[in-house]
Amino acid sequence: MTDQQTPPPVLVHVEGRAGHLVLNRPRALNSLTHPMVRTLAATLDAWARDPGIDTVVLSGAGERGLCAGGDIRAMHDDARDGDGTATEEFWRDEYRLNARIARFPKPYVALMDGIVMGGGVGVGAHGSVRVVTERSRVAMPETGIGFVPDVGGTFLLSRAPGELGMHLALTGDAVGAADALLCGLADHFVPARRLDALRADLASVPAAEAVRRHASAPEEGVLARARAWIDHCYAADTVEEIVRRLADSGERAAKEAAGTILAKSPTSVKVTLEAVRRARALGSLEAVLEQEYRVSCVALRRPDMVEGVRAQIVDKDRAPRWSPAALEAVDAQTVAGFFAPRGPGRELTFG
């Protein structure tokens, strides 16, 4: 229960034929907690059966973004001081919510304005109507905190054109509206100044028509012009070879990408490469989420996740000490261990 002085972390209200879910932790950039995930899931279940609701609209409170991800500080503390059970239970419910959103039987309009990262991608980019603005910055930045893209992120990135998804997965780079559209992370561009009018129309107008009224073309992105070197470099078999190709390509942006990858957790980037490639071969979002759950549970108990969150979020010294510190020290057996079955009762399954 929340008292009168503490607003609920998810605001739920109905305007006309539209049900609104507003992530309401603006000071924490609307990062997701377990109670928020439960509220979203329960409300979606109710609205799926409610004949008075035609459309669901997801947005974030405040001016900074939809959602910066899961509450990684809580995950860090659980990994460092607990047994990981609370985080595993959170992921189990969060990943099921991601699949629920993807299969929701009514239009699910995600207003992906501002920062949309990690878990924010999970609750936004699996929707059926995904709207970005000129302020959008969409990313799966997990390799920078010693983790691996999850919440169905490897599913989405594996299906981006060419090797664009692999580039975003390994570097953790954020993209703007045009590149989010190109990579299949969004469907429509609506200028931020028109979002209030769009919300008003969604109360009485079918979602597709309402979005068409306000959508336009975004400014040009950067990834379309970079396809040649991205597709060549990231098609290499190993992270080491990807980095070598990037460094030798003669393209400034490629060299910068090489440096970015080398600054990430060596274990995370190698596991991410394998996870995205395996995701390409899996037939459904649910199968990929099951794979991601295995990977996430292993990563939770590896030293790099605690260290990465410490460096980026807790101490903010931006100087993680990865273990091991070099790509060459991460062998194939270690990578394979992230994908090994966990045993009865310890897997994520979809009935």
Q: What are 195-216's pLDDT values in tens digits?
A: 999 999 999 999 999 999 999 9
Kindly give the confidence (pLDDT) of every residue in the chain, 351 residues in length, as a single tens digit, with 9 standing for 90 and above. Answer: 445 678 999 999 999 999 999 999 999 999 999 999 999 999 999 999 999 999 999 999 999 999 999 989 899 899 899 889 999 999 999 999 999 999 999 999 999 999 999 999 999 999 999 999 999 999 999 999 999 999 999 999 999 999 999 999 999 999 999 999 999 999 999 999 999 999 999 999 999 999 999 999 999 999 999 999 999 999 999 999 999 999 999 999 999 999 999 999 999 999 999 999 999 999 899 999 999 999 999 999 999 999 999 999 999 999 999 999 999 999 999 999 999 999 999 999 997
Say what the pLDDT of residue 6 is.
Answer: 85
Say what the pLDDT of residue 4 is.
Answer: 60
* Rounded Cα gap, residues 81 and 95, in angstroms: 24
Assessment of whether the complete model's pTM goes beyond 0.85: yes
Residues taking part in catalysis: 70, 119, 142, 150
Q: What are residue 139's DSSP bridge partners?
A: 117
What would the pLDDT profile of 134-177 be if each residue is shown by its tens digit?
Answer: 999 999 999 999 999 999 999 999 999 999 999 999 999 999 99
Range 330-334, long-range pairs (CB < 8 A, 24+ positions): 330/266, 330/267, 330/270, 334/267, 334/270
Burial of 181 (0-12, 13-18, 19+ CB in 10 A): buried
CB 47 within 8 A of CB 56: yes
* Rounded Cα gap, residues 350 and 167, in angstroms: 30
